[in-house]
Amino acid sequence: MDGGPARERGRLELASTDPRAQPLIQLNFATDPEDLRRLVEGVRLAWQIAHQPQIARHTHHVALLSEEAISSDEALAAHVRATVSTQFHPCGTARMGPPGDPMAVVDQHCRVHTIQTCAWSMRRSCPPSRARTSTSPPS
């Protein structure tokens, strides 16, 4: 599966000259056929992974999508168009601080204080530089 950048670009426009007015935002998700194909492929892959025995035994069912929808490119594309959205995903969320700070996970050099304060995503919580791509790829 290709995880490259989207081909379509959204638009941001001023709604008026009033600086308090919300801008007009058009995200254009799934408007480019190749972007839509990749989104459909990604949803289908995620559904297939969720149905693997090692994962499925921990779930009751996978919400929203039936096997019929997954097997139909048209139905899955309609689902993607209706549900695709964006979300805020903060990065660099591991608190830095001195060893005496009970909320601090790392010091100013990203050295872990104790294993109890360390989460599995530690290596992504202390980025050495600002992210230029998705901050939530598979570990």
Extents of the domains making up the chain = 11-83, 91-129
Choice between 134 and 5, residue whose per-residue pLDDT is larger:
5
Question: pTM of the entire structure?
Answer: 0.59
Given 79, 89, 109, 113, the catalytic residue: 89
Query: Rounded distance, CA 100 to CA 93, Å?
Result: 19
Which of 87-91, 94-98, 120-124 is predicted most confidently? 94-98
Hey, what amino acid is at 85?
S
Question: pLDDT at residue 50 above 80?
Answer: yes
Amino acid at 131: A
pLDDT at 120 over 60: no
pLDDT reported for residue 58: 87
Give SS3 for 71.
helix
Give 125-130's long-range contacts (Cβ < 8 A, gap of 24+).
125/91, 125/92, 125/93, 125/94, 126/92, 126/94, 126/96, 127/91, 127/92
To the query of whether residue 89 is one of the catalytic residues in this protein, the response is: yes
